[in-house]
Structure 1
Amino acid sequence: MVASVVVVSGLSNAVAAETTPLPFPGTVTGNVAVVSSYNLRGITTAPWGPENDNAAVQGGLDYSHDSGFYLGYWFSTLGYSYAGLQPGCAGTKCTTKSFENDFYGGFKGKLTEDVGYTVGGTIYYYYPGWESTGYETMLGLNYKEFSISAQTLLNNVTFGNKGDTYFLATYAPALPGGFTGKAQLAAYYYGDDDEFTGPTTTDFAFRHATLGLSHPLGATGATMSLDYLIGGYARDESKQKNKVVLGASYTF
């Protein structure tokens, strides 16, 4: 799941790519990445585990218009089958690894020269496992290198409850030597409908903190990244372990 379709994008830690003129207004950029593990919003050791405990291939395309309107698509390989989690599942689809597809869009604008906002939403679609399709709203504010966002789930799905809200604060300063830093603090408000997720035993919890560094590889368009996840608590109050995640990405 795309961790944050927010004002300051941290999905691939990618450098800005040159764009080719389009036959219609706006710009399109793309990215592809490999990460050592895919840990959805800091989840490392919950009963259902990370999205992919092994290397995951990720990427996407983004369209932006001068008006502030944007659309995008993001994908990731997963380490399990969402269909296989459904009661009574039988056959090949229960063992075939699922593939995550995130479709998002919205509008970005400015309140002042340094203060911006984002209003948008995301559709999460998993194949196999369409029963896990989720719909989420997103509100964000940013000031220079600092951003905050809130993403709220609108329906019950296997990975969450209606009303679940993920709060994320990100500081991404430019550092000496061409490095970019990343400091994140995240918390969750957990809805308690529990149709698919099992028991929710806490309403609000620290979810994770992340400290990271990224650096472009010359003028190649590729970027290397290193993130250290400090684990918080899932909806059942299970403590998440700390973890190091390595990544390499390329923009085009």
Structure 2
Amino acid sequence: MMKFAVKAVALSVATLTSTLAMAEESKLPFPGTVSGNISVVSSYNLRGITNSPENSGAAVQGGLDYSHKGFYAGYWFSTLDYSYACLNPDCKDVDARDSFESDFYAGYKGNITEDLGYQVGGTIYYYYPGWESTGYETIVGLSYKDFGVTAQTLLNNVTFGNKGDTYFLATYAPALPAGFTGKAQLGAYYYGDDDEFTAKTEHSFAFRHATLGLSHALGDTGANWSLDYILGGYDRSDIKQKNKVVLGLAYAF
């Protein structure tokens, strides 16, 4: 069933891409802009978790984004190869290979000065199967030229986190010679202590990961490749995460 769902999403994205491309030629019938992306990554490691990745094999990911005068909204999905814990007996026999992530988000991005910007918004994370894994998260951020810092805070207890969990991420993404783009990230977590669904939290604050990456466009095709090296930190149970290389191929429209 999930394979069918993935194909249906991919087909819907492709159809909408074609429709939007035609609309772009004659201008959209509504204000704002729409963009999208589709990609394949060798491994989906959410926020530096490499010991138990969301998908240890190749994952298909993609999304659509709408923006207008600083306001934005969008949808993003990824295939998974394991299932989030489901407390409902009706989903206990679901094949982990059929699990799927859908993210719905919206917010506002503005500028304080020409180089200094800010962001406020929120995200709903829905994982099939199990409503117990549906999370609601806020995001606030500041950016200066190629440097940005964000803080994402979970608003409810879910199977993968506690209310109050906050993920801090600092990113530097400069343009490099020969058309390359660099990426240097440092991630850390403040962990809430409710422990309704998750394992006992060993520390309230921990280094989560550091990531170094390179990407480059594939000519004028709209596609690009990426190479990331994740230096693993620690999860909420104080387990050291492995270092890992992740390859990606993406197409933006």
Which residue does the alignment assign to 1:81?
A: 83
Higher relative contact order, chain-length normalized (CA < 8 Å, sep 6+): 1
Identity level (%): 73
Which residue does the alignment assign to 1:61?
A: 64
Tell me the distance in 2 between the aligned counterparts of 1:188 and 1:179: 30
Which residue does the alignment assign to 2:18?
A: none
Query: Which amino acid in structure 1 is aligned with residue 32 of structure 2?
Result: G
Which residue does the alignment assign to 1:34?
A: 40
Instruction: Compute the displacement of 1:175 (Å).
Output: 0.2
Conserved 8 A contact 1:96-1:128: no
Where do residues 139-178 of structure 1 align in structure 2 (5 Å cutoff)? Answer: 139-178=140-179
Tell me the distance in 1 between the aligned counterparts of 2:135 and 2:88: 19
Tell me the distance in 1 between the aligned counterparts of 2:88 and 2:199: 13
| TM-score normalised over the length of structure 1 | 0.88
Q: Give ranges in structure 1 of 5+ residues lacking alignment.
A: 1-17
Conserved 8 A contact 1:190-1:200: yes
Q: Give ranges in structure 2 of 5+ residues lacking alignment.
A: 1-20
Conserved 8 A contact 1:153-1:161: yes
Per the alignment, do residues 183 and 90 of structure 1 end up closer, same or farther by CA in structure 2, a change over 3 Å counting? closer
Tell me the distance in 1 between the aligned counterparts of 2:245 and 2:154: 28
Tell me the distance in 2 between the aligned counterparts of 1:227 and 1:203: 28
The question of 1:195 aligning with 2:201 is answered no
Instruction: Compute the displacement of 1:86 (Å).
Output: 3.4
Where do residues 233-244 of structure 1 align in structure 2 (5 Å cutoff)? Answer: 233-244=234-245
Pairwise CA RMSD: 1.5
Tell me the distance in 2 between the aligned counterparts of 1:211 and 1:93: 36
3-state SS of paired residue (2:98): coil
Which residue does the alignment assign to 2:213?
A: 212
| TM-score normalised over the length of structure 2 | 0.87
Instruction: Compute the displacement of 1:87 (Å).
Output: 7.1
Instruction: Compute the displacement of 1:89 (Å).
Output: 6.0
Instruction: Compute the displacement of 1:215 (Å).
Output: 0.1
Which residue does the alignment assign to 1:6?
A: none
- Per-residue displacement from partner, 1:3-28 (whole Å, max 9, x unpaired)? xxxxxxxxxxxxxxx99221000000
Instruction: Compute the displacement of 1:117 (Å).
Output: 0.3
Tell me the distance in 1 between the aligned counterparts of 2:167 and 2:92: 35
Query: Which amino acid in structure 2 is aligned with residue 74 of structure 1?
Result: W
Conserved 8 A contact 1:98-1:129: no
Per the alignment, do residues 22 and 87 of structure 1 end up closer, same or farther by CA in structure 2, a change over 3 Å counting? closer
Tell me the distance in 1 between the aligned counterparts of 2:216 and 2:118: 27
3-state SS of paired residue (1:93): coil
Where do residues 69-108 of structure 1 align in structure 2 (5 Å cutoff)? Answer: 69-82=71-84, 85-86=86-87, 88=89, 92-93=93-94, 95=96, 97-108=98-109
Instruction: Compute the displacement of 1:94 (Å).
Output: 5.1
Query: Which amino acid in structure 2 is aligned with residue 37 of structure 1?
Result: S
Instruction: Compute the displacement of 1:90 (Å).
Output: 5.8
Conserved 8 A contact 2:91-2:129: no
Tell me the distance in 2 between the aligned counterparts of 1:163 and 1:203: 11
Conserved 8 A contact 1:150-1:165: yes
3-state SS of paired residue (2:104): strand
Find the structure with the greater CA-based Rg: 2
Instruction: Compute the displacement of 1:81 (Å).
Output: 1.8
Query: Which amino acid in structure 2 is aligned with residue 77 of structure 1?
Result: T
Which residue does the alignment assign to 1:114?
A: 115
- Per-residue displacement from partner, 1:36-67 (whole Å, max 9, x unpaired)? 0000100011xxx11000000000000000x2
Instruction: Compute the displacement of 1:82 (Å).
Output: 2.2
Tell me the distance in 2 between the aligned counterparts of 1:86 and 1:96: 18
- Per-residue displacement from partner, 1:168-218 (whole Å, max 9, x unpaired)? 000000000000000000100000101111110100000000000000000
Tell me the distance in 1 between the aligned counterparts of 2:215 and 2:124: 28
State the aligned residue count.
230
